[in-house]
Amino acid sequence: MVHGGPDVLELVDVPETHAGPGEVRLRVFAAAVNPTDTMARNGSRAEQQKLDPPPYVPGMDAAGIVDEVGEGVTTGVKVGDRVIAMVCPNANHGAYREQIALKARAVVPAPAGTTHVEACTLPMNGLTARQSLDLLGLSAGQVLAVTGAAGAYGGYVIQLAKADGLTVIADASEADEALVASLGADIVVRRGDDVASRIREHFPDGVDGLADGAVQSERVVPAVRDGGAFTAVRGFIGEPQRGVTFTATSVRGYDGEFEKLDRLRQQAEAGVLTLRVADTYPAAQASEAHRRLEAGGTRGRLVLEF
């Protein structure tokens, strides 16, 4: 793949890879299509990719079967296990591949009773949601606001926050209200540029924390109380104000966090987390999946099958 629109996605042959020491190799059967993949594709990340030779292979979420275990692996994984992993893409090392070698601590068992397609929707967005909540550092009983709540990230934030004992106020379009409520939000307000004032109608002093999945940045800072916490997903750090703590969630920081991903696996098995699939495409139709994701409005993840 070179950079450009969805049509630059094409099938390519890459050399066979093997599990090195401390690694496992997966036969990938499903890879989720995430917004970040469109940025890897369209050149927004060209600066970071410039030292890597093409073809670039996007993809941060894989589900498949282990077919090789390297020396010194201590996570208990065996050939034949059904697993999931977050992939941090680099050159042709991305989740949109039939075969990939990963550090063993990035690979955990797939949630029991799920298909590869369902399972691949968990790792990257689940870990991102977990990291956002860890950065916000709220305690049970405190109030969290979530924007972009109908999205893959937003949905997991709501569900993990409820499991952590938080009260959740979340945004939704009229069409998504029932969905967002079903994910566990205690209060649902209409999404939009004035969502901060709608949140303040319910919490006049502001909320304790806000996870900004809709990337509304400074427009939603007013929803946070003095001394509260705000976490962004695309690097936004607000101007210092009212004692608000700003953090930038960056899920690559949770690469190889075996226990955290395995906990998400357990929470999916327990029904705390809902794995939402919008549609599936054969890998050869990845460009179609990217076009559809970029059009907006998908609810649940689009998944490529290999």
User: Which stretches of the chain bind ligand NAP, using CB under 6 A?
Assistant: 34-36, 125, 128, 147-148, 150-154, 171, 191, 213-216, 233-234, 249-251, 296-297
Smallest distance, Å, CB 300 to ligand NAP?
8
Smallest distance, Å, CB 223 to ligand NAP?
13
Smallest distance, Å, CB 245 to ligand NAP?
17
Strands 61-69 and 82-86, how do they pair?
Answer: antiparallel
Other Cβ atoms closer than 10 A to 270 = 10
Burial class (CB in 10 A: 0-12, 13-18, 19+), 245: middle
> One-letter amino acid identity for 60?
M
CB 88 within 8 A of CB 49: no
CB nearer to ligand NAP: pick between 77 and 179: 179
CB nearer to ligand NAP: pick between 35 and 184: 35
Token digits of residue 150: 């109908």
With tokens 């050399």, the residue in question is: 15
CB nearer to ligand NAP: pick between 187 and 215: 215
Residue 63 β-bridge partners: 30, 84
Helix (H) / strand (E) containing 128:
helix 123-136
With tokens 């890459």, the residue in question is: 14
Q: Compute the distance between CA of residue 297 and CA of residue 22 in angstroms, rounded to an integer.
A: 40
Token digits of residue 40: 């890897």
Position closest to ligand NAP via CB = 151
Smallest distance, Å, CB 34 to ligand NAP?
5
Smallest distance, Å, CB 220 to ligand NAP?
9
CB nearer to ligand NAP: pick between 86 and 107: 86
CB nearer to ligand NAP: pick between 114 and 249: 249
Q: Compute the distance between CA of residue 140 and CA of residue 288 in angstroms, rounded to an integer.
A: 42
CB nearer to ligand NAP: pick between 191 and 225: 191
Spatial neighbors of 245 by CB under 8 A, at least 6 apart, are 228, 229, 230
CB nearer to ligand NAP: pick between 75 and 147: 147
Smallest distance, Å, CB 21 to ligand NAP?
28
Smallest distance, Å, CB 153 to ligand NAP?
3
Residue 233 gets which letter from DSSP? S
Phi and psi torsions of 161, nearest 5°: -65, -40
